[in-house]
Amino acid sequence: MSKFDFCPWLFWDHATEEDRRAQTGHVAGLRDRMDLQVAEKVFVSPLAAVHADSLRMGDYSYIAAHAYVTDDLVMGEDCTLNPYAVARGRVVLGSAVRVGAHTSLLGFNHGSAPDRPVFRQPITSKGIRVGDDVWIGSHVVVLDGVTIGDHAIIGAGAVVTKDVPAWAMVAGNPARPIRDRRSTTPSTTATAATASGVAVTGAGGRDLAGLVSDFADRAREQAEAVLRRCWTGERYVDRPGAAPTVRAWCDAVEIADLLLAGPPPIPAKEGIVAFLRDRQDPVTGLVPEIGAPGSPERPGGTPEFEGVTAYHVLCVGYALDLLGTRFRHPVHAVAGLDSGRLVAALDALDWDRQAWTAGSWVDAVGTGLYRNLADFGLRGEIETLYGWLLTRCRQTHGMWGDPDSDAGWLMVVNGFYRLTRGTYAQFGLPLPYPEQAVDTVLVQARDPRYFGPDTGNACNVLDVIHPLWLTGRQTRHRREEGEAWARQHLVRALGGWQNGAGLSFALTTGAGATRTPGLQGTEMWLAIIWLLADYLGISDALGYRPRGIHRPEPAAR
Q: Which residues of 186-198 are buried (b: 16+ CB within 10 A; e: fewer)?
A: beebbeebbeeee
Strand 147-148 to 128-130 pairing? parallel
Quick one: pLDDT at residue 508?
A: 55
All domains of the chain in start order, with CATH:
3-183 (2.160.10.10), 185-229+433-552 (no CATH), 235-329 (no CATH), 338-432 (no CATH)
pLDDT tens for 208-262 read 888 899 999 999 999 999 999 999 999 999 999 999 999 999 999 999 999 999 9
Alpha carbons 168 and 155: distance in angstroms, whole number: 11
For position 196, what pLDDT does the model report? 26
Residues 345 and 396 sit within 8 Å (Cβ to Cβ): no
3-state secondary structure 303-332: CCCCHHHHHHHHHHHHHHHHCCCCCCCCCH
In 3D, which of 471, 488, 454 has the Cα closest to residue 417? Answer: 471
Task: Specify the length of the chain in residues.
Answer: 557
Average pLDDT over residues 540-552: 93
What is the per-residue pLDDT for 511? 44
> Which of residues 124 and 436 earns the better pLDDT score?
436
User: Between the CA atoms of 350, 352, 353 and 355, what dihedral angle is there, to the nearest 10 degrees?
Assistant: 70
Model pLDDT for residues 154-170, shown as the tens digit of each residue: 999 999 999 999 989 99
Q: Lowest-pLDDT range, 9-13, 416-420, 424-428?
A: 9-13
The residues, ordered by sequence, that sit 6+ positions from 109 with a Cβ below 8 Å of its Cβ are 123, 124, 125, 126, 143, 144, 145
C-alpha–C-alpha distance, residues 310 and 365, integer Å: 8
Q: Which residues contact 32 (CB under 8 A, 6 or more apart)?
A: none
For Cα atoms 326, 331, 336, give the angle at the middle one, nearest 5 degrees.
Answer: 155
- pLDDT digits over 464-512, tens only? 999 999 999 999 999 999 999 999 999 889 988 999 999 999 875 444 4
Please write the tens of the pLDDT for every residue from 373-415.
999 999 899 999 999 999 999 999 999 999 988 889 999 999 9
Mean pLDDT of 530-544: 94
240 upstream amide cis, omega within 30 of 0 = no
Q: In this structure, are strands 153-154 and 168-171 parallel, antiparallel, or unpaired? A: parallel
Residue type, 322: L
Q: Which residues contact 440 (CB under 8 A, 6 or more apart)?
A: 397, 398, 399, 409, 412, 413, 416
Local structure of 416: helix, strand or coil: helix
The DSSP result for 229-275, as a single string, is HTB-SSSBBSSTTSPB-HHHHHHHHHHHHHHHSSS-SSS-HHHHHHH
For 71-105, the pLDDT digits (tens) are 999 999 999 999 999 999 999 999 999 999 999 99
Contact at 8 Å (CB) between 407 and 536? no
Q: List the catalytic residues.
A: 110
139 pLDDT tier (thresholds 50, 70, 90): very high
Q: Is the pLDDT of residue 12 over 70?
A: yes
State the pLDDT at residue 187.
34
Q: How confident is the model at residue 539 (pLDDT cuts 50, 70, 90)?
A: very high
**Residue-level pLDDT at 514:** 61
Q: What is the pLDDT of residues 169-218, one digit of tens each?
A: 999 888 888 888 876 443 333 333 332 232 333 333 447 888 899 999 99
CA gap 46, 246 in Å, rounded:
35
Note the pLDDT of residue 373: 95
What is the average pLDDT value for the chain, to the nearest integer? 90
Return the pLDDT at 557: 59
Residues of the chain above pLDDT 70, percent:
94
Q: How far apart are CA 175 and CA 161, in angstroms?
A: 7
Output the pLDDT for position 114: 76
**Burial class (CB within 10 angstroms; exposed 0-12, middle 13-18, buried 19+) of 35:** exposed
Give pLDDT, residue 262: 94
SS3 at position 179:
strand
Q: What are residue 231's DSSP bridge partners?
A: 236
What stretches of 172-218 adopt beta strand conformation (E)?
A: 176-180
Q: Which residues of 90-100 are buried (b: 16+ CB within 10 A; e: fewer)?
A: bbbbbbbbbbb
Task: With beta carbons less than 8 A apart as the criterion, state whether 248 and 555 touch.
Answer: no
**Coil vs helix vs strand at 282:** coil
423 vs 174: CA distance, rounded Å: 39
Q: Specify whether the CB–CB gap between 70 and 106 falls below 8 A.
A: no
Q: How many CA atoms lie within 13 A of 490 on its CB side?
A: 35
Q: What is the pLDDT of residues 286-317, one digit of tens each?
A: 999 999 999 999 998 999 999 999 999 999 99
Give 3-state DSSP helix, strand, coil % of the chain, rounded to 5. Answer: 45, 15, 40
Give the residue among 267, 264, 259 at the shortest CA–CA distance from 221: 259
pLDDT surpassing 80 at residue 11: yes
Could you tell me which of 384, 352, 350, 392 has the C-alpha nearest to residue 365?
384
β pairing state of 104-107 and 86-93: parallel
The beta-carbon contacts of 428-434 under 8 Å, at least 24 apart in sequence, are: 428/553, 428/554, 428/556, 428/557, 429/386, 430/474, 431/398, 431/470, 431/471, 431/474, 432/389, 432/390, 432/393, 432/395, 432/398, 433/393, 433/395, 433/397, 433/398, 434/398, 434/471, 434/474, 434/475, 434/477
